[in-house]
Amino acid sequence: MLLGSLTHGSVVDGKFEGFIQTHRGTFYVEPVERYLQDKNVPFHSVIYHEDDIHYPHRYGPGGGCADSSVFERMKRYQASETITSTDDHVLLRKKRMTQVEKNTCQLFIQTDHLFYKYYTSREAVIAQISSHVKAIDAIYQGTDFMGIRNISFMVKRIRINTTSDERDRSNPFRFANIGVEKFLELNSEQNHDDYCLAYVFTDRDFDDGVLGLAWVGAPAGSSGGICEKNKLYSDGKKKSLNTGIITVQNYASHVPPKVSHITFAHEVGHNFGSPHDSGLECTPGESKSQDKKERGNYIMYARATSGDKLNNNKFSVCSVKNISQVLEKKSGSCFVESGQPICGNGLVEPGEECDCGYSDQCKDECCYDANQPDNRKCKLKPNKVCSPSQGPCCRAECSYKGRNEKCREESECAHQGMCNGASAQCPTSEPKANFTACHGDTQVCLNGGCSGSICEKYGLEVCTCASVDGKDETELCHVCCMERMNPSTCSSTGSERLARFFNKKVTTLQAGSPCNDFKGYCDVFMKCRLVDADGPLARLKKAIFNPELYENIAEWIVAHWWAVLLMGIALIMLMAGFIKICSVHTPSSNPKLPPPKPLPGNISPHSPLLRLLKPNQWVKEHYFVGCFGL
């Protein structure tokens, strides 16, 4: 991994999906079926740079966030709390009594059936949740909120509504046509006292291009935002205002992950107490100074940003000030220490015997769910040997599977995994013999992993066939080997030199592999595509301002002076002819000159055709033609 880089992703159905942050920008990897309807393509994923994203999406008058009238209604509702809580004084005392740094906001993430329908599987949905949380975690951890540092996020609970839940009457998000305010209200009507924030992800096309909505936090005076408890309001309903919603659709188009990540950070910023940025200092994108304008606006700008500007992933000083006040007041009430085990997230962590999730999702007869009292939750029930949440070698009847029952499929370099009859976890698979060919015969197995080059099977070293004079360009995407410590012997597996090892059989690299001494990559047609790290703008700059270009032009002019002279004379004659021809059609203020001649094809004012039309008819006809031109 490159110094200063960050990679986050998930492997879903054997394919990596996520993002890679480098000093050259962020690269995104997604399944190809999200962009191409033709599934018969020879590749399964697409990778693109953040600068390659085309933004056809419109973000409505509110710019991806609700307009001011919606926020005004939300503010009035937040101020309508009917029960005054005394928690604030208790929180301050607790904060003074403890020295443990509590800097982690625990999240409850729900997804509706439309989100599941778009991503098609639980694994893909979880990967999206993980990607969004990781993205905002990097932004908030990298921000100093006036002395409050290392703010992080952790998913405490996930609820995935599948397509079958569309018919479930207990599912509040089952209806197709729900406005953005109502959608947020449905989330707020649930009790979220156990969480710092609770969000719902959806794939809905809200009116006016709204991408997200959330309650704005405040240090005092109104309800809403992080750590807010379920309370009774003036409409007679109890609600949790520590909530927000996010959609990944905008005007019938899928929102790129980068935009969606910033939208999530923006809405969470509202929960943390930041209103929209205002003022020249905090909206540099509106500045008349080109230098400031090019840096772009900050995360809490009122309209959605593309995410490719310097400031797009940062909080302004206005936001930092507002957020720090809310964190100082509220974080002690629900933030937790980082790295603590979470009962209910489905992962068996230190201190837990099992973890089957919460009562609404736990189908395990062996384990107490996370809704149970502290002395029982995430523990095995009496007389139960194991729980399926511990591993694949535990039966639903809470007993270990027998010896030699399969728990892991066979891979290229390892035999299938077999239970041992004494543990719920699947033992390590027996590795296949070292130097077994794998990865399309381009590599070999070493200690159960496909990690060595096929060259190692014959005591050779792997090398890259570089482009040199007299060398076949088609070999650039071949697997090449050389004798140990002798680069001059680097040859293709199909070459005469290596015929005794490979019998002149050409072995090609996998698509996407580096080639030509790491100067390019192999495409699906086994052609080495050279990569210019400087990009098209740098190439254009070099082409225009290359001193050698001007030297060549000067040498040509000296050698062909007569041609330059002829071209100059021809240009002068062309301009003179143009002026002569056009001058007779040009009106003049000189009364002594004849009137201008009409251009060919124009109707003369004295034409009989115009005399057939009355004046009012002519006006209408002219207007009618103008409408067609608009």
Structural contact between residues 19 and 29, judged by C-beta atoms closer than 8 angstroms: yes
Cα–Cα dist 376/261, whole Å: 37
Active site residue 267: yes
Cα–Cα dist 399/382, whole Å: 13
Cα–Cα dist 194/153, whole Å: 15
Cα–Cα dist 461/402, whole Å: 44
Tell me the backbone φ, ψ of residue 112, rounded to 5 degrees: -90, 175
Q: Is 240 helix (H, G, I), strand (E, B) or coil?
A: coil
Q: Is 12 helix (H, G, I), strand (E, B) or coil?
A: strand
261 is in an annotated binding site: no
Write the burial class of residue 532 (CB in 10 Å: 0-12 exposed, 13-18 middle, 19+ buried): exposed
For residue 322, what are its two tokens? Answer: 């507002």
Buried b (16+ CB within 10 A) or exposed e, 123-153: ebbbbbbbbbbbbbbbbbeebebeebeebbb
Of 270, 208, 274, nearest to 245 (Cα)? 270
Cα–Cα dist 108/244, whole Å: 11
Active-site residue, from 267, 281, 405, 461: 267
Largest separation between any pair of C-alpha atoms in the chain? 117
Q: What is the helix, strand, coil percentage profile of the chain, to 5?
A: 30, 20, 50
Q: Calculate ∠ Cα 42-43-47, nearest 5°.
A: 150
Cα–Cα dist 249/115, whole Å: 10
Cα–Cα dist 390/423, whole Å: 9
The label of the residue with tokens 């000093």 reads 23
44 is in an annotated binding site: no
Rg over alpha carbons for the chain, rounded to the nearest Å, is 34
270 is in an annotated binding site: yes
Structural contact between residues 226 and 242, judged by C-beta atoms closer than 8 angstroms: yes
Buried b (16+ CB within 10 A) or exposed e, 535-566: eeeeeeeeeeeeeeeeeeeeeeeeeeeeeeee
Structural contact between residues 321 and 298, judged by C-beta atoms closer than 8 angstroms: no
Tell me the backbone φ, ψ of residue 15, rounded to 5 degrees: -120, 135
Structural contact between residues 77 and 167, judged by C-beta atoms closer than 8 angstroms: no
**Residue 102: CB atoms within 10 Å:** 17
Decide the pairing of beta strands 243-247 and 197-202.
parallel
Cα–Cα dist 216/222, whole Å: 9
Cα–Cα dist 319/297, whole Å: 12
Residues with catalytic roles: 267
Please report, in range form, the residues annotated as the binding site for Zn(2+). Answer: 266, 270, 276
Please report, in range form, the residues annotated as the binding site. Answer: 266, 270, 276
